[in-house]
Amino acid sequence: MTETILKTYTIGELAKEFNVTTRAIRFYEDKGILNPSRQGQKRIYGPRDRILLKLTLRGKRIGFTLAESQKLFDMYQHGEDNKDQLETMLATLDEKDALLAQQKLDIEEMEAELQAARERCLTAIKKIDNI
Amino acid sequence: MTETILKTYTIGELAKEFNVTTRAIRFYEDKGILNPSRQGQKRIYGPRDRILLKLTLRGKRIGFTLAESQKLFDMYQHGEDNKDQLETMLATLDEKDALLAQQKLDIEEMEAELQAARERCLTAIKKIDNI
DNA sequence: GTTTACCTTTACGTTAACGTCAACCTTAAG
DNA sequence: CTTAAGGTTGACGTTAACGTAAAGGTAAAC
């Protein structure tokens, strides 16, 4: 008995859980990121699709394009045996890592500036209130 | 003598310094982000434009749209006296801050996954080399 | 049996952020 | 004087990531 029963989701459930439209989810399938099975003509998503969706959305939030995410997933899945592909993936990973490092700096600098702007705002409001 | 001589830049200089095209720089002017003076018909950029360009590009790297950056700059510059605007700006700043916090989490999770993928890659390569 | 709530495919529309000509001016150099 | 290396204004083209109808299938609920 290697049979395992997996949790499944409808497109609407996933859409609600991750706060995206069903249109977006179908779009990701179009782009080859998701691969739901069917029950009749209805899409059925398993845990794997759910994870991929989650990763995709996270990628998006930090500026990955769908193509980039897809490429990473793809390499992760079919790259075990091909050395060239593994090395390409390594390079990609390093590149992404560098970008993330830069982004961290950018975020911290931006946070400092937002904080400064915030204080300037508060001071200006106080002045107005005290007139 | 309140006269101060400011450093100026041509569009090409800025493009080279920040590694963007002149087309992009002109585009930012179109969007109201930059405001160079002219010498004849040639654009002359001062330190202020340079900073704004720098901030804009940094914003881009962490996912700000040009419109968002422009809005922030705008509020920062003309908002001193209008209380409503100041409060709008505060709200915007808080919102952005929240996004940045989320991004930090996303980045860290992504880094962990890239690291894991990296190790999987290296192991797989070693296996291939040892055959 | 007919709403209601989801689901489906097909396909054109939209927005952001430039890219990419084209056609032209303007100096400094040879 | 003409060539080269900048700069200028249009203005149409492009890509990503969906939005937005339109037109229809299906299944449980009333």
pLDDT in tens, A18-73: 999 999 999 999 999 999 999 999 999 999 999 999 999 999 999 899 999 998 88
- pLDDT, tens digit (0-9, with 9 covering 90-100), for B1-50: 666 778 999 999 999 999 999 999 999 999 999 999 999 999 999 999 99
Choose the final residue of a domain: B64, B96, B117. B64
Reduce the DSSP state of residue B79 to 3 states and report it: coil
Binding-site residues on chain A for chain B (CB distance < 8 A): 55, 58-59, 61-63, 72, 76, 79-81, 83, 86-87, 89-90, 93, 96-97, 100, 102-104, 106-107, 109-111, 113-114, 117-118, 120-122, 124-125, 128-129
Å between A39 CA and nearest CA of chain B: 33
For every residue of B40-59, DSSP letters joined together read TTEEEB-HHHHHHHHHHHHH
Query: What confidence tens digit (pLDDT) does each residue in B110-131 have?
Result: 888 888 888 887 888 888 888 7
HEC string of chain A equals CCCCCCCCECHHHHHHHHCCCHHHHHHHHHCCCCCCEEECCEEEECHHHHHHHHHHHHHHHCCCCHHHHHHHHHHHHHCCCCHHHHHHHHHHHHHHHHHHHHHHHHHHHHHHHHHHHHHHHHHHHHHHHHC
Question: If DSSP codes are grouped into helix, strand and coil, which group holds residue A43?
Answer: strand
Q: How far, in Å, CA of B46 to CA of A87, rounded?
A: 45
Domain membership flag for residue A59: yes
In a domain, A53, yes or no: yes
Which of the listed residues B18, B34, B64 is the one where a domain comes to its end? B64
Shared domain check, B124 and B88: yes
Nearest by CB to B83, which of A104, A117, A125? A125
Considering only CA atoms, which of B58, B54, B88, B49 is closest in space to residue B71?
B88
pLDDT tens-digit map of B65-111:
999 999 888 887 776 677 777 787 778 778 888 888 999 999 999 88
pLDDT at A80: 66
Instruction: Decide: A63 and B63 in contact? Cβ < 8 Å.
Output: yes
- Look up the CATH number of the domain holding residue A85: 1.10.1660.10
Total domains, chain A: 1
Give the one of A87, A111, A118 whose C-beta lies nearest to B100's C-beta: A111
Gap from B63 CA to chain A (nearest CA, Å)? 6
- In a domain, residue B5? The reply is yes
